[in-house]
Amino acid sequence: MYQHIVIAVDGSRTSAKALAEALRIAKMAQSSLSLVHVASLRDMAIEGVGALDTHQLHDLAFRQAREVLDKAEKQAINEGVSRVDCHIAESWEGGKDMADALIRFADSRKAELIVIGTHGRSGLAHLLLGSFAENVMRKTHCPLLVVRGEED
């Protein structure tokens, strides 16, 4: 079974559903678990935080990522996963670069499974926003579990 699982967490409902699945597998397999948050600095800048300089943007991204990771880490520990670590990565380029950051981390930790949530966008939304899940799927050599959100 899987010895090391990497899961991307972002605080969304879809991410929460993927985390629940990763925790279920990690408990069953007694795996170690790495929680990864990839902060999209470009999206933060576009969403109205643009008045911040680069240093302030990094600080804000780190604080938000830490909140998401702390919550996920507490959940993992409360559910009986004893070997948990957290990692924050940043991206200025969006979906493809974010996927690359997750894959680089998983490769560096010799992960045996990556778990991610997907919103399952299609059509124009997919074209404009890209697909983090699709980019991870296309680029990783590691087994990948993609969990769709309930709203999809």
DSSP assignment of 65-95: HHHHHHHHHHHHHHTT---EEEEEEEESS-H
The helix (H) or strand (E) run that includes residue 133 is: helix 132-139
Contact status, residue 33 vs residue 26, Cβ threshold 8 Å: yes
Four-residue CA torsion sign, 10, 116, 85, 57: negative
Summarised one tens digit per residue, pLDDT across range 81-139 is 989 999 999 887 777 899 999 999 999 999 999 999 987 555 544 444 457 888 898 89
Report if pTM > 0.95: no
Let me know how many helices (H) and strands (E) the chain has, helices first.
6, 5
Q: Which CATH code is given to the segment(s) 4-148?
A: 3.40.50.620
- What angle (nearest 5°) sits at the alpha carbon of residue 91, between those of residues 89 and 92? 155
CA distance 12 to 121: 15
Sorted by where each begins, the domain ranges of the chain are 4-148
Question: What is the number of other CB atoms lying within 10 angstroms of the CB of residue 124?
Answer: 8
Residue 61 pLDDT exceeds 90: no
